[in-house]
Amino acid sequence: MNKKFISCEDLQGSVYFGPDALRHCCQRFFVKGKMQGDVEIFKVNSNDDLSVKKILDEKKKIIDNLNNKIPTACDGCPKLERKNWKKDIKINKMSIEIHSKCNARCSYCSEMYYGGLNPKYDFIKFYEELSDNKIFEEDVSITWGGGEPVLLKNFESLLKKISNFGSYPTHKDIRIYSNSFIYNDTLHKYLNEGKIILTTSVDAGTYETFKKVRGVKKGFKEVFKNLEKYSENPKAKVIIKYILTSGNHEKDEIDSFVKLIDEHKLSRCNFEISSDYKIEKLTLNSANNIIYFYNKLQNIKAKSVLLDDHVRKRIKDALLLDKKISEDKLLKLSSLNPDEKIIIWGTGGYAKATIKNSMILNDKRIAFFVDEKQFSKKNNDKFYNKEIKTPEDALNSDKRIFIASSTYWQVIHEKILGLGIDNQRIIKQLII
């Protein structure tokens, strides 16, 4: 059996490609009130600065330091775990952030993403080198953010190359993070073919708030019109995100946003409620408005509504400021019966954050977990002292299911329905 050691999923398998640096992650966290994160691998000025060996060496160095109590930039990160990690590092996630040109100046963003830099290296050339050196897992997920992706001169050709790279590695999960100010025909084509997932953060329900939060005077109407086009095809996977920050989270603003969503027939999309990563704690007012927001989207029959990990790890502490908050009230909100046991689908970071920060999920309410990758009959694996079972076990049960994933909610949802599990068994109410 492998010896347990401290590491995280990103140190073990992620590379974030910036215009002039490579990073291990995009995780931000607070240590003694100071924000840390975005841990760098090394700077890059040309392809001569890039090598497979350098990436592996730097990853191994930081892991060794963590386990020998030598200070690192990762110290204090909540994603670190001591467990049986694989010794061999294989890349299973790449984030393409190779330029920092953007047509917005969001209040919660930083110059890292709008500083105007072009890539200082040939990304495709190095990507092919990584592939030739067999550093990838068989399947690699791609996230493509920014700057604004569609402003990259070779965006269309690069998207085509990434989407059709070949048999190794495969890319079954390609996510584009675009503000959707500008309509892009290639993006639309790949959405219609079901090859990519688009995430757009809107963050406002009125023009005045849009100007304040997004930092621009144009684009508000265009965002909704373009999202309506992008989501017309049933195959298209579109996630609409709303990042709560200063000035955009009051109920009037939320009402205006939901009204526009309804008018543009966007309830067919998936929704993700987030919060400004620069803000360490949510206020009670913000937490209550998140619940209000969630329910408003449910009322217009949004396809799915999720709280992302930024909200998950903050909302419990905020709600505890309300001395009148009760378990009964939260159970009613979630539609759970007092003695009901549920199945939790997923054992990743989101599942951990949900359980850790939940006020109602505990041993007596969890029947078992489902995770194909983690299931092992031989090892009798457990998670939070509950059995990890197969999707077939969920099919043969009559218990309701909570999907514990934000990134892969839609993928898991489709799999559950594909197994023949009744959609009514999937919990879509808010669980805190």
Q: Are 146 and 116 in contact (CB under 8 A)?
A: no
- Cα–Cα distance, 398 to 276 (Å, whole number): 38
Please work out, in degrees rounded to the nearest 5, the angle formed at the alpha carbon of residue 93 by the alpha carbons of 90 and 94. Answer: 115
By C-alpha distance, which of 238, 224, 308 is closest to 270?
Answer: 238
Q: Are 165 and 130 in contact (CB under 8 A)?
A: no
Written as one letter, the residue type at 23 is R
- Cα–Cα distance, 337 to 324 (Å, whole number): 20
Q: Report the CATH number of the 340-425 domain.
A: 3.40.50.720
**CA distances (Å), origin 218, targets 103, 151, 152, 191, 208:** 9, 16, 20, 24, 11
**Cross-strand partners of 175:** 143, 197
Q: Are 189 and 196 in contact (CB under 8 A)?
A: no
- Cα–Cα distance, 330 to 188 (Å, whole number): 40
Per-residue pLDDT in tens (0 to 9) along the chain, 432 residues: 468 999 999 999 999 999 999 999 998 899 988 999 999 999 999 999 999 999 999 999 999 999 999 999 999 998 999 988 988 999 999 999 999 999 999 999 887 778 889 999 999 999 999 999 999 999 999 999 988 999 998 899 999 888 876 678 888 899 999 999 999 999 999 999 999 999 999 999 999 999 999 999 999 999 999 999 999 999 999 999 999 999 999 999 999 999 999 999 999 999 999 999 888 899 999 999 999 999 999 999 999 999 998 898 899 999 999 988 888 888 888 888 889 999 999 998 889 888 988 889 888 899 999 998 766 554 567 888 999 999 999 999 999 999 998 888 888 999 999 999 999 999 988 898
Residue whose token pair is 């084509």: 189
In this prediction, residue 379 carries a pLDDT of 56
pTM over 0.85: yes
- Cα–Cα distance, 225 to 212 (Å, whole number): 20
Q: Are 218 and 203 in contact (CB under 8 A)?
A: no
CB atoms within 10 A of CB 425: 16
- Cα–Cα distance, 105 to 264 (Å, whole number): 25
Q: Residues near 14 by Cβ (< 8 Å), separated by ≥ 6?
A: 24, 25, 91, 92, 93, 94, 95
From the CA atom positions of the chain, what is the Rg in Å? 22
Max distance between CA atoms of the chain, in angstroms, equals: 62
Instruction: Please spell the DSSP secondary structure of 298-343, one letter per residue.
Output: HHTT-SEEEE-HHHHHHHHHHHTT-TT--HHHHHHHHT--TT--EE
**Cross-strand partners of 383:** 386
- Cα–Cα distance, 255 to 276 (Å, whole number): 20
